[in-house]
Structure 1
Amino acid sequence: MAGSVDTTGIERLASLLREASSVVALTGAGISVPSGIPDFRTPGTGLWENVDPMEVAHIDAWRRDPEHFWQFYGERFQSLRDKEPNGAHRALVELERGGVLDAVVTQNIDMLHRKAGTRELVEVHGTIEHSSCLACGATYPLDEVRARQAADERGVPRCDCSRPLKPDVVLFGEFLPEGAMERAGALAAQADVLLCIGSSLEVWPVAQMPDVTRGAGGEVAIVTTGPTPYDGIAAVKLEGDVVAELAAVVAAL
């Protein structure tokens, strides 16, 4: 039932967090679902259920047909425009402000952690907050990108140098930003507890973070619906409503 929590699991997770000197959160699409943002692969509702990501979210698709690419991304940007952080995002902010949580590493591009007030944030897949010109290096904020897309007869936001802009998100076929991944790896290695929230833990290289934490002697805790490859080694696994579960953890500390 939505809103119900695993009280035994909550107490176990709260105990882990109380005893830890360093806690790092790793978040995926599932943390933003309560904000009205679909995840990628849930049957019937996932973003990739009706479109081929290789056709709309690959760097070659952007290079080959920026008009088709931006038709998809323009709609995606519009759908994210008015989304707000939910209780799960706010719970992590509360943990950070309380000195329990060191940082959030997120696979999400939706800016909701930033909107919620997370201070130490590593966005390993980039962000929709701005787009850049790969020709001259100019960068434009999201509102300006939207305005330029609306003004272009083909619906392609363009740089002042006339080249198509690319959103500053990691597309299929691109490497993850080196600095962000180095920071994420360092955080995982120092963590006594890696708190994985709303992630299937199947998308590499981010999915190796639990191995890094475990290899350094830390514990892995998972708060997500559905199985992950790390369920068998997790110190605790919660599968209820992510907002209710995290609110209960905060209350138990």
Structure 2
Amino acid sequence: MSDSKYEKIAEMIVKSKLTVVLTGAGLSTESGIPDFRSKGTGLWEKIDPMEALSTDVLYGNPEKFYRTGFKILTGMKGAKPNKAHLILAKMEKEGLISAIITQNIDNLHYDAGSKNIMEVHGNIRTGHCVKCRKTYGFNVIEEKVAKGEIPPLCTCGGMIRPDVVFFGDSLPDCFNKAWEISSRCDLMIVIGSSLQVGPVNYLPSLAKKLVIINKGDTMYDRRADVLCNESASSALDNIYAKIQEIKASGR
């Protein structure tokens, strides 16, 4: 991408009073976590999501879920934040961005040090009992499953499930917060998302200005003020460098 695009995005960020970042699976591919829809490598080319990560399977056949779909979640454990996650955390700390709305469940924004995160599709840090609502660490679920306790059970006898939004689940309360801040933001930066999953994919339409950083096409490409078809780390590294130049020059 040309320097002029990096500079334009940097200027938009510096001038914005409220910038929100919306991230998707493409942000974490550089951490070794495959995305869902990329041709040849996407998870959904290998696995039917409705057979692996749906409430129909979770509640209708929990044994199948914990022997199949659960492995997709545990496969994300051990991944580390990449350069893009770290730059976003730094930008938040410096007041350049106000919030991160993420569709990712991999905890990497959290691990990178970001604070104001809206995990609209849940996370793999915690779980809860579907009967009494008692909270458990995700590691407790892993330990129970590893010992052959499938499905893992709470002390009350109810099934413990991860705090991940599966197909068929309602979105968590933080989605309302994500909607509210998206409707107020001066600038939204979408990173690593194909914007195919609703209702999260409606959020960019609420923003006054829009930047998209994604290797593939999205339904909002024509609406975007600036479009970058490249990796998140490369784009953010260059954008952050331009922000420092702008600050140093006093512009």
| 1:61 maps to which of 31, 51, 57 | 57
TM-score normalised by length of structure 1: 0.93
What is the number of residues matched between the two proteins? 243
- Contact kept, 8 Å, 1:28 with 1:106, in 2: the verdict is yes
Tell me the equivalent position of 2:105.
109
Shift of 1:55: 1.1
TM-score normalised by length of structure 2: 0.93
- Provide structure 2 residue ranges, at least 5 long, that are not aligned to the other structure: 244-251
Aligned-partner Cα distance in 2 for 1:203–1:31? 16
> What SS does the corresponding residue of 2:75 show, helix, strand or coil?
helix
Aligned-partner Cα distance in 2 for 1:77–1:210? 27
Tell me the equivalent position of 1:203.
197
- Contact kept, 8 Å, 1:105 with 1:124, in 2: the verdict is yes
Aligned-partner Cα distance in 2 for 1:143–1:174? 22
- CA-to-aligned-CA distance 1:25-84 (integer Å, 9 cap, x gap): 000000001000000011211111111111111101111111110112332233111100
Say whether residues 1:164 and 2:155 are aligned partners.
Answer: no
Higher relative contact order (CA 8 A, sep 6+): 1
- CA-to-aligned-CA distance 1:87-124 (integer Å, 9 cap, x gap): 01011111101111000000010000000000100000
Taking every aligned residue pair, what percent have the same amino acid on both sides?
A: 37
> What SS does the corresponding residue of 1:195 show, helix, strand or coil?
strand
Say whether residues 1:236 and 2:226 are aligned partners.
Answer: yes
Tell me the equivalent position of 2:183.
189
Say whether residues 1:80 and 2:76 are aligned partners.
Answer: yes
Say whether residues 1:227 and 2:223 are aligned partners.
Answer: no
- CA-to-aligned-CA distance 1:160-187 (integer Å, 9 cap, x gap): 223321111111111111x211100111
Which consecutive segments of 4 or more residues in structure 1 shift more than 4 A?
none
